[in-house]
């Protein structure tokens, strides 16, 4: 003989729908929280990579600038800086010279949008070489665009203006160069002032 309990009717369809709905809302809130946290971690990782590239690039750039030197030795030494712009520079440098190399290499630093490797490019042309070796120091990626700025300073720390740089012999006043690399959208940047080793 089976006894029937009065309240043994089970769960109604409405109760089941309400329970599934509440569970769905809770799951949506939890997943939104995790997706938001994951996006923040991904963004922070991307910015960290950008800053690391900037630090590596500024190290290479300042090393080359530190050893800027005249293009030739002797009574007519030639100019060390071929071009000295606010956002690009070309100069002769004795950094990273091969053992048998007597003349400095031509170093060019600029930001390019040219494919296949847009970004901050450092090119080095050794004497007698047919082609420069180029390195993309800071890549242009979606959401990250590098910009570089050069400020040329005299021994008193005053800026040598573009008009002054257009005059012959301006390099005699050049004491140091301030380099700044900035990631345009985020505003993250690194800068360093490098004192030139060789008097120009």
**pLDDT tens, residue order, the chain (200 aa):** 555 556 666 788 888 899 999 999 999 888 888 887 777 777 666 677 778 888 888 888 888 888 888 766 544 456 788 888 999 999 888 876 555 667 788 888 888 877 777 788 888 887 777 777 777 777 777 777 888 899 999 989 999 999 998 888 888 888 999 999 888 878 888 888 998 887 66
Residue 56 lies inside a defined structural domain of this protein: yes
Look up the domain containing 140 and give its range: 49-195
**Does any domain span residue 177?**
yes
Asked whether residue 73 is assigned to any structural domain, the reply reads yes
Alpha helices in 67-187 (DSSP H): 162-165
Rounded alpha-carbon distances, angstroms, from residue 30 to 5, 38, 40, 77:
39, 12, 16, 69
For residue 11, give Cα distances in angstroms to 8, 16, 17, 21: 9, 7, 10, 15
Number of domains in the chain: 1
Residue 18 half-sphere exposure toward CB, CA atoms < 13 A? 5
């Amino acid at each position: 003989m089976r006894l029937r309990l009065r309240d043994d009717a089970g769960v109604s369809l409405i109760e089941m729908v309400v329970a599934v709905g509440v569970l769905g809302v809770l799951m949506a809130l939890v997943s939104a929280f995790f997706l938001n946290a994951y996006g923040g971690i991904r963004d922070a990782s991307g910015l960290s990579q950008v800053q690391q590239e900037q630090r590596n690039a500024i190290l290479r750039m300042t090393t080359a600038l530190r050893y800027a030197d005249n293009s030739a030795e002797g009574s007519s030494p030639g100019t060390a800086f071929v071009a000295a712009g606010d956002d690009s520079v070309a100069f002769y440098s004795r950094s990273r010279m091969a053992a048998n190399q007597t003349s400095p290499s031509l170093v060019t630093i600029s930001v390019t949008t040219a494919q296949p490797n847009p970004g901050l490019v450092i090119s080095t042309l050794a004497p007698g070489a047919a082609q420069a070796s180029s390195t993309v120091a800071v890549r242009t990626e979606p959401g990250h665009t590098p910009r570089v700025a050069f400020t040329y300073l005299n021994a008193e720390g005053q800026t040598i203006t573009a008009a002054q740089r257009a005059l012959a012999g301006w390099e005699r006043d050049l004491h140091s160069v301030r380099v700044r690399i900035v990631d345009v959208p985020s505003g993250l940047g690194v800068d360093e002032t490098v004192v030139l080793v060789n008097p120009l």
